[in-house]
Amino acid sequence: MKAIIIDRPGGPAQLQLREKPDLQPSPGLLTIDVAYAGVGYFEVLLSRGEFESVFPMPLTPGLEVSGYVRAIGEGVEGFYVGQPVASMTLHDLNGFASMANVRPELTVPLDQLGADLDLATAAASIVNLTTAYLAVKDVYRMRRGDSILVHAAAGGLGSFLGQVARRLGAGRILGTVGSAGKLNQAAAFGYDEVFLRTDFVERTLKATGQQGVDAVFDPVGGSMRKQSLEVLRPLGQLVVVGNASGEEDIPHSFNQIWFSNRQLAGFTLGGYSDSNPVETGKAAREALGMLARKELHAEIQGVYPLEQAAAALTLLEEKNTVGKLVLQVSS
């Protein structure tokens, strides 16, 4: 089997394509022939060694894949050889490879969604879409008519957060982007208004008649954390869903949170799925079903062969993408 290997930190340039022994079926797992693998900013961070304490090198990156069931491990039910599936490889990685062993609880049979969903879109979407669905529905607990603000509205996660919120009943949906070139692109994801993060506090308050929003979803981190609290209404919630900026954590006074009647919440799909795999898999099926029925739109900016994985990660590192990138592992 072919696999991308990272031996040492150093960024996308450290990715190497190598041959490895084929995987063998393992009890409790599915083995799939990978057709596509989603590419996200997390892989950039992995290549820099920022999670080496959790994922020691050498490693094969890749959090999400799609393909066909190759073999079924002992004790696994509900799947058949040759079945098209999408899966989240959040705990074991290994998505940038021609074969992967995946957890059945985190695997969605694509032929059971009730509508067609192609393999490339499934691989590009399953992690970010499931994250967006759970963050909006179960973490924030969206109420009909709520107003929200999403940072990085043109990114892989941001492109879904606004759409999912709309489907679940949100009223006014605002977004921010890091560069002027992404303003129109983010607006295509259904945002009522999109503006630059450099002046988002003033723009958000103006757009809401100085009232602020009910929730802010922040995958960026850094100074966005503290500034986002300024645009929340009383009882509004800041939902932290990432730290793409890579900036150091910014301390904040919990007494100030208390006095201002604002709320904080955090969500990471990796940790949640580890302790709640069945609930995560159910959310993934529901979310991908919405995508298959064309209730949501997935933006794929580019499809690259596996051997060009480093080039794809470099684009992400330069923050020069909209939506998602995908690796085509096999035809």
Please compute the mean of the pLDDT values over residues 237-249 and round it to a whole number: 86
Per-residue pLDDT at 2: 96
Domain boundary pick from 242, 269, 296: 269
Please compute the mean of the pLDDT values over residues 220-245 and round it to a whole number: 91
| Phi, psi angle pair for 78, to nearest 5° | 90, 5
Per-residue pLDDT at 243: 82
The confidence band for 199, taking pLDDT boundaries of 50, 70 and 90, is very high
Per-residue pLDDT at 228: 93
User: Using an 8 Å Cβ cutoff, are 174 and 192 in contact?
Assistant: yes
Residue 266 has pLDDT above 80, yes or no: yes
> Distance (Å, rounded) from C-alpha 232 to C-alpha 92?
37
Do 167 and 229 sit in the same domain of this protein? yes
Q: What proportion of the chain, given as a percentage, has pLDDT over 70?
A: 100
Do 227 and 159 sit in the same domain of this protein? yes
Residue 160 has pLDDT above 80, yes or no: yes
The confidence band for 256, taking pLDDT boundaries of 50, 70 and 90, is confident
Please compute the mean of the pLDDT values over residues 139-154 and round it to a whole number: 96
Judged by DSSP in three states, 314 sits in helix
Do 35 and 137 sit in the same domain of this protein? no
Q: Quick one: tokens of 329?
A: 């592992």
Per-residue pLDDT at 134: 98
- Does residue 245 or residue 214 have the better pLDDT? 214
Q: What proportion of the chain, given as a percentage, has pLDDT over 90?
A: 78
Do 116 and 242 sit in the same domain of this protein? no
Residue 244 has pLDDT above 80, yes or no: no
Do 201 and 312 sit in the same domain of this protein? no
Residue 331 has pLDDT above 90, yes or no: no
Residue 150 has pLDDT above 90, yes or no: yes
Least confident of 65-79, 296-310, 312-326: 312-326
Domain boundary pick from 246, 269, 292: 269
Do 241 and 304 sit in the same domain of this protein? no
Per-residue pLDDT at 320: 73
The confidence band for 238, taking pLDDT boundaries of 50, 70 and 90, is very high
Domain boundary pick from 227, 245, 269: 269
> Distance (Å, rounded) from C-alpha 313 to C-alpha 203?
32
Do 114 and 167 sit in the same domain of this protein? no
User: Using an 8 Å Cβ cutoff, are 228 and 150 in contact?
Assistant: no
> Distance (Å, rounded) from C-alpha 148 to C-alpha 144?
11
Closest-CA residue to 192 (of 149, 138, 236): 149
Q: Quick one: tokens of 138?
A: 């179960």
Sign of CA dihedral 167, 87, 218, 314: negative
Please compute the mean of the pLDDT values over residues 1-30 and round it to a whole number: 95
Q: What is the CATH number of the domain that holds 168?
A: 3.90.180.10
Do 25 and 134 sit in the same domain of this protein? no
Do 146 and 192 sit in the same domain of this protein? yes
Please compute the mean of the pLDDT values over residues 63-82 and round it to a whole number: 97
User: Using an 8 Å Cβ cutoff, are 147 and 214 in contact?
Assistant: yes
Residue 245 has pLDDT above 80, yes or no: no
Per-residue pLDDT at 185: 85
Residue 323 has pLDDT above 90, yes or no: no
Please compute the mean of the pLDDT values over residues 2-24 and round it to a whole number: 95
Total count of domains within the chain: 2
Please compute the mean of the pLDDT values over residues 130-151 and round it to a whole number: 97
Do 186 and 259 sit in the same domain of this protein? yes
Query: CB 236: neighbour CB atoms within 10 A?
Result: 24
Sign of CA dihedral 98, 274, 11, 160: positive
Do 162 and 281 sit in the same domain of this protein? no
Per-residue pLDDT at 210: 96
> Distance (Å, rounded) from C-alpha 134 to C-alpha 118?
23
Do 290 and 314 sit in the same domain of this protein? yes
Tell me the pLDDT tens digit for each residue of 280-314: 999 999 999 999 999 999 989 899 999 999 999 99
The range of the structural domain enclosing residue 282 comes to: 2-126+273-328
Please compute the mean of the pLDDT values over residues 191-216 and round it to a whole number: 95
